[in-house]
């Protein structure tokens, strides 16, 4: 299936280009989601870019007129970090300036009219790096707001810039979960703070001190919200400003072993002592609801609180279910909506009448928006109202249309409105029609196919991405990209880390499969990876390769390469030791697992306990254990294909020793190999300069072995 463009005329006005390069992709504009004002007259969003010649970043805010479609610069600068529409008029705002006059690591809070920023008034200087602003106007005209920052165990806000430096750098721990993602954990934990702004007409003053709603809720562990490295999506404030909800990990369980969350309800005028759990394990009529919760959201009426929750207590990729609770601490009366729906929604927006919840969920390689009415029973099957792309955010406007900001493989940002039935009302912005770096990218660059595998009853999907100037009568080397997770998917979305079109425009046809473990084709396919890391997905990938080899005559499989990150990196290491590895000219592993016996060097032990069907112990050294059976090192004697290794020092999920082990073994075996390390990057490579090196070195390697380049050496 090839996608058909509706923008050929517009594309014809753009300058001709010969594909998108890593440098142009990394320097191109990056767009935030368009957030509308309360009357739906306009929306604002951030834009940022990077200039390699000067090594400078620039950022600004755009204003989109939702009536005329006109786009203009709203604020030229980066010091406004967050904006909330709140106050007496539809253009009243409160915003955060990421610094303050004291230059003490804190922030400034301002009020303004969005149409006259030059008249902004300073409300307060806050002596900590607060963020995650949410605010509502109360009946009396005051503004109640929420922010978060790290807090000391005594509940006061923590500011690293003002904190004393201890004489020793020692860290001491007495329980697991000593570090996470790229950070060693400390006694300071995130907490949600509430404050009151007195006044009106864009003139306010901070009344009293901020209230900490989280710190002090303790059992086996202590509460933290937003949880660890999450954000303001973990809490909300009611429309009348009288109530707050927030989620935290279940404090009765060890952090490293379980995914369970609890959502708390607390009066705005209360403290952590007044917090009441909404969905504590075993407290609702859904005893299976034991797992992670996300996204608590008040309805516009203030009468309900919606949230998502999984059942599995140690499974981070279980199916999420939409629940609605009454906003009544005396009786939350939690009810599931569309309980049996075989999809896993992950974001939401309430309709203005509080009768429908719009959710986004992975679906067949896309992230689609589905309306779910409050009346939905267990067997209700939602119908999607969007098709292509993955939304970054969506908002319900006063006329009940939805303002959607999404991306696709061929465009970094589209902004449009749709009706609740799915009809597109107006398309305001398409990055591939505006940004010179994206000129020429179009839906026809992308296709998909379904293939049969012996591991599942359903057919599985794969994306095809074509190079610039693709000619079906010619042949192009295969770039076979395996996704991470393993529970996850290759989606029809833009990426600045693994951008399929950038890879294709090196001269490849990119094949991006969604094998066993992929999300969006039903929970059974996602769950089937458990205990079978090197089995089901490997054979699925073999079937993908066979399909391409037999059916896509324009793909040169003789000179193909394979690459993957995270679980995709593990699978690359597994492929290296098996027959599929001999079908590629080169392999690329980015931050992958080399020895499954080392899984407990990670931080989220719940992940290993689930995916490897139990805790690691001495049985892990014996055949029959997933830890043993799916270890790539069992097949090290078969390693032969030239192999590029990337592993970053701040990756605590998959420690850098895994990459060093892989590289050492390749070198010992005499397999052509090269290692790239970034000491300041984590599981991802985010810095543009580092990312350019990442692309340059990897493409130098694969282009040599695939024959695309005329280089005399891959080094």
Catalytic residue list: 566, 651, 683
Cα dihedral 654→659→660→662 (10° resolution): 130
3-state secondary structure 610-641: HHCCCCCCHHHHCCCCHHHHCCHHHHHHHCCC
β-sheet bridge partners, residue 276: 265
CA atoms within 13 A of residue 41's CA, in its CB half-sphere:
9
How many DSSP H helices and E strands does the chain contain? 10, 38
Q: Say how far apart CA 64 and CA 494 lie, in whole Å.
A: 22
CA atoms within 13 A of residue 95's CA, in its CB half-sphere:
22
| CB neighbour burial string for 319-344, b if at least 16 within 10 angstroms, e if fewer | bbbbbbbebeeeebebbbbbeebebb
For residue 6, the 8-state DSSP code is S
Among 573, 551, 466, residue whose Cα is nearest residue 511: 466
Q: Say how far apart CA 493 and CA 490 lie, in whole Å.
A: 8
User: Cβ neighbours of residue 492 under 8 Å, at least 6 residues apart?
Assistant: 365, 366, 388, 389, 390, 408, 409, 446, 463
Among 542, 546, 565, residue whose Cα is nearest residue 486: 565
Q: Say how far apart CA 281 and CA 314 lie, in whole Å.
A: 13
β-sheet bridge partners, residue 590: 565, 646
β-sheet bridge partners, residue 118: none
β-sheet bridge partners, residue 510: 465, 479
What is the CA 482 to chain-centroid distance, rounded? 18
CA atoms within 13 A of residue 466's CA, in its CB half-sphere:
22
Structure tokens at 672: 């052509």
Cα angle for residues 525, 531, 532 (degrees, 5° grid): 65
Among 198, 359, 221, residue whose Cα is nearest residue 294: 359
CA atoms within 13 A of residue 673's CA, in its CB half-sphere:
23
Cα angle for residues 103, 104, 108 (degrees, 5° grid): 65
State the Rg of the chain over Cα.
26
Cα dihedral 46→51→54→59 (10° resolution): 0
In this structure, the number of other CB atoms found within 10 A of the CB of residue 51 comes to 11
* Four-residue CA torsion sign, 583, 587, 591, 597: positive
């Amino acid at each position: 299936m090839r996608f058909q463009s509706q923008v050929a005329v517009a594309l014809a006005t753009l300058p001709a280009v010969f594909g998108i390069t890593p440098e142009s992709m990394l320097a191109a504009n990056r767009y935030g989601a368009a957030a509308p004002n309360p009357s739906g007259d306009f929306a604002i969003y951030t834009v940022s870019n990077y200039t390699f010649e000067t090594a400078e970043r620039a950022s600004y805010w755009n204003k989109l007129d939702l009536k005329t479609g006109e786009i203009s610069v709203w604020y030229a600068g980066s010091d406004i970090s967050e904006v909330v529409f709140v106050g007496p008029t539809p253009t009243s705002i409160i915003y955060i300036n990421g610094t303050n006059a004291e230059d003490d690591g804190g922030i400034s809070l301002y009020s303004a009219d969005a149409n006259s920023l030059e008249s902004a008034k300073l409300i307060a200087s806050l002596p900590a790096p607060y963020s995650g602003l949410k605010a509502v106007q109360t009946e009396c005209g005051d503004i109640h707001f929420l922010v978060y920052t790290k807090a000391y165990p005594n509940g006061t806000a923590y500011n690293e810039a003002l904190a004393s430096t201890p004489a020793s750098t020692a860290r001491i721990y007495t329980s697991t979960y000593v570090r996470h993602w790229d950070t060693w954990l400390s006694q300071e934990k995130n907490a949600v703070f509430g404050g009151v702004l007195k006044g009106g007409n864009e003139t306010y003053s901070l009344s009293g001190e901020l209230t900490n709603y989280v710190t002090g809720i303790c059992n086996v562990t202590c509460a933290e919200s937003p949880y660890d490295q999450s954000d303001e999506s973990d809490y909300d404030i009611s429309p009348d400003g009288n109530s707050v909800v927030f989620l935290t990990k279940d404090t009765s369980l060890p952090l490293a072993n379980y995914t369970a969350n609890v959502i708390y309800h607390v009066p705005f005028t209360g403290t952590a002592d007044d917090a009441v759990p909404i969905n504590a394990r075993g407290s609702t009529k859904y005893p299976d609801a034991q797992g992670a919760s996300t996204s608590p959201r008040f309805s516009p009426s203030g009468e309900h609180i919606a949230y998502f929750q999984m059942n599995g207590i140690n499974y981070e990729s279980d199916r999420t279910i939409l629940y609605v609770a009454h906003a009544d601490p005396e009786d939350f009366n939690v009810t599931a909506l569309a309980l049996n729906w075989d999809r896993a929604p992950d974001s939401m927006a309430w309709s203005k009448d509080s009768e429908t919840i719009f959710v986004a969920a992975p679906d067949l390689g896309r992230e689609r928006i589905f309306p779910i009415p409050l009346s939905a029973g267990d067997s209700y099957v939602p119908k999607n109202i969007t098709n292509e792309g993955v939304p970054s955010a969506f908002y319900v406007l006063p006329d009940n249309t939805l303002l959607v900001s999404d991306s696709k493989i061929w465009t970094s940002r589209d902004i449009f409105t749709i009706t609740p039935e799915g009809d597109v009302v107006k398309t305001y912005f398409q990055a591939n029609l505006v940004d010179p770096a994206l000129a020429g990218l179009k839906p026809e660059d992308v296709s998909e196919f379904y293939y049969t595998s012996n591991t599942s009853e359903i057919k599985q999907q794969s994306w095809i991405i074509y190079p610039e100037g693709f000619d079906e009568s010619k042949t192009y080397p295969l770039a076979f990209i395996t996704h991470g997770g393993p529970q996850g998917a290759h989606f029809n979305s833009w990426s600045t880390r693994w951008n399929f079109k950038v890879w294709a425009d090196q001269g490849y046809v990119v094949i991006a499969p969604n094998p066993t473990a992929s999300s969006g084709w039903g929970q059974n396919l996602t769950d089937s990876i458990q205990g079978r890391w090197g089995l089901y997905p490997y054979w699925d990938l073999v079937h993908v390769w066979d399909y391409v080899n037999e059916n896509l005559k324009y793909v040169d499989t003789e000179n193909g390469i394979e690459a993957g990150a995270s679980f995709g990196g593990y699978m690359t290491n597994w492929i290296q030791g098996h027959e599929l590895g001999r079908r590629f000219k080169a392999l690329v592993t980015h931050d992958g697992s080399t020895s499954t016996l080392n899984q407990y060097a990670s931080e989220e032990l719940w992940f290993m306990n689930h995916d490897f069907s139990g805790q690691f112990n001495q049985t892990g050294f014996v055949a029959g254990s997933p830890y043993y059976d799916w270890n790539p090192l069992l097949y090290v004697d078969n390693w032969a294909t030239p192999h590029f290794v990337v592993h970053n020092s701040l990756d605590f999920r998959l420690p850098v020793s895994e990459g060093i082990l892989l590289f050492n073994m390749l070198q010992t075996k005499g397999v052509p190999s090269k290692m790239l390390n970034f000491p300041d990057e984590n599981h991802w490579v985010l810095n543009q300069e580092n990312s350019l090196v990442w692309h340059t070195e990897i493409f130098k390697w694969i282009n040599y072995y695939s024959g695309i380049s005329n280089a005399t050496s891959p080094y």
